[in-house]
Amino acid sequence: MYAVVKTGGKQYRVCVGQKIKVEQIPAEDGAEITLDQILMLGEGEEVKVGTPLVAGASVKCTVVSHGRHDKIKIFKMRRRKHYQKHQGHRQNYTELRIDAIVV
């Protein structure tokens, strides 16, 4: 069984036992979280699509860790104008382990 979950403005396809990195969630390591914005549920050939959310469905997950992604380098330049700008960014994330999909 799988589900499509919306969190942090993004959508993720998740299965039980899978680990995903989502936008930072303010929770302690080892805390249990319930994600209730479920857009779609699927099992084999059977698919249940929400309008826009599937009523009564949720995903239970555990916070594994918090961290930061690799640095992204941003470089802007205007040719012939002697303008160069260097910038870097590291996005925070929360790693979740999917424990159960409740219908």
Q: How confident is the model at residue 94 (pLDDT cuts 50, 70, 90)?
A: very high
Q: Annotate 45-79 with DSSP letters as a single string.
A: TEEEE-SSS-TT-EEEEEEEEEEEPPPEEEEEEET
For the segment 67-72, the average pLDDT, to the nearest whole number, is: 97
Q: What is the pLDDT of residues 20-52, one digit of tens each?
A: 999 999 999 999 999 999 999 999 899 999 999
Number of domains composing the chain: 1
Q: How confident is the model at residue 98 (pLDDT cuts 50, 70, 90)?
A: very high
Predicted model pTM: 0.84
Q: How confident is the model at residue 84 (pLDDT cuts 50, 70, 90)?
A: very high
| pLDDT at residue 103 greater than cutoff 90 | no
For the segment 53-71, the average pLDDT, to the nearest whole number, is: 96
Domain that residue 77 falls in: 2-102
